[in-house]
Amino acid sequence: MSIEDIKKIGIVGAGQMGNGIAHISALAGFDVYMMDLNESAVAAALETIDANMTRQVRKEKISAVDKDAALKRISTGTGYDGFADCDFAIEAATEDEQIKREILKELCAHIKPDTIIASNTSSISITRLGAKTDRPGKFVGMHFMNPVPAMELVEMIRGIATDENTFKTISALAVKLGKIPVSAEDFPAFIVNRILLPMINEAVYTLYEGVGSVLAIDTAMKLGTHHPMGPLELADFIGLDTCLSVMNVLHDGLADTKYRPCPLLVKYVEAGWLGRKTGRGFYDYSADQPVPTR
C-alpha cells in the first residue's frame, strides 16, 4: 500500500480527536467513515465539525464550497460495516487499553487484508496494541494533537513489528493532511506527553499541597513561562480522564514513583469532573467565563 492507494479513511471514536481527524481528512479530499458507540455521539461530532468549518470559512481559511464538499465526503454510523472499503483506519476511542483491544479485534474482522491501521493513543504501547491485531506489520502509532485542525504536529510511532512501508506511507499521509510528522520510539507516552503530562500532574500537586490557587498556578505559568494556556486550564482542555490514563501508563510502564498520579487528579476523575467536556474540572464552565473551582 502506498499513499496513492489511500482514498477512504475510517475513524473509530468521534470524540474531540476523532471528529478533528475526520475534519482534516475530509478537507484534504479523502472520503471518511466516522463511527462511535451511539447516534448521539456521531451527531454531536458532525455538529462540531460543521461549526469548526464554519469558523474556518469566516476566517477565510477555506471557502464555503470547500466546506460543503468536505461535509459531503463524511459518512457516519455506529457499526463496523462502513470500514469494509477503507484503505486506512485510525482508532481514536477512549484511552483505555481494554476498549482499544476490543475495537481492534472487531476492526480487523471488517477491513480489507491490506488496510493499514493506526492508533491515536496518547500513551499506550503501539507494539502491544499491534500484537492484538492480525497485521502487526501494518499497524502504527499516529498521534495527533488537540485541537487537530489547528495543531501542526503528528507523532509517528513505530511498534517493534511495524514495517517500513507502513511507517513511510502513514508519515506521507500525515503530510498530505497538512501536518508535520516527527518520529518517536515506542516508549510510554512517546515524546510530547512524556514531557507535558508530568508537568500537568505537578501543577495538580501544587494545587493539592496548597502552594497556589487554580488561578495563581495558571497565571504564574502563563506569565512566567509564556505558555499560552496554564497547566490546569490545559488539563481541563485535554480531559482529566485522559490525563490520568497517561500518568498511569507512565507510572506502570516506567516503574518510577516520580510519575505517581496526584490523588486530587484521581478524585476529580472519580467525581466525573473531567474538564471542559463535562462542564467542570479545575474550572466550572457553566457560565460564559470559566470560573476556578479552588
Residues that bind ligand NAD in the complex, under the rule CB under 6 A: 12-18, 35-37, 41, 92-95, 99, 103, 120-122, 143-146, 238-239, 242, 277
155 carries an active-site annotation: yes
Q: Is 122 annotated as a binding residue?
A: yes
248 carries an active-site annotation: no
Q: Is 10 annotated as a binding residue?
A: no
Candidates 155, 171, 201, 245; catalytic one: 155
Minimum distance from residue 217 beta carbon to ligand NAD (Å): 19
Nearer to ligand NAD, 45 or 262 (CB): 45
- In this structure, the dihedral spanned by the alpha carbons of residues 83, 111, 96 and 188, taken in order and rounded to 10 degrees, is -120
Q: Are 182 and 188 spatial neighbours (Cβ–Cβ below 8 Å)? A: no
Measured distance CA(135)–CA(132) in Å, rounded: 9
Q: Is 100 annotated as a binding residue?
A: yes
Measured distance CA(130)–CA(79) in Å, rounded: 22
Nearer to ligand NAD, 15 or 136 (CB): 15
Minimum distance from residue 232 beta carbon to ligand NAD (Å): 14
122 carries an active-site annotation: yes
Minimum distance from residue 133 beta carbon to ligand NAD (Å): 15
Measured distance CA(262)–CA(253) in Å, rounded: 17
Candidates 119, 120, 193, 245; catalytic one: 193
Q: Is 212 annotated as a binding residue?
A: no
193 carries an active-site annotation: yes
Nearer to ligand NAD, 66 or 97 (CB): 97
Q: Is 69 annotated as a binding residue?
A: no
Minimum distance from residue 286 beta carbon to ligand NAD (Å): 19
Nearer to ligand NAD, 40 or 165 (CB): 40
Minimum distance from residue 60 beta carbon to ligand NAD (Å): 27
Candidates 119, 120, 122, 201; catalytic one: 122
Q: Is 14 annotated as a binding residue?
A: yes
Nearer to ligand NAD, 1 or 145 (CB): 145
Summarize the annotated binding site as residue ranges.
Answer: 13-18, 36, 95, 100, 122, 146, 277
Catalytic residue IDs: 122, 143, 155, 193
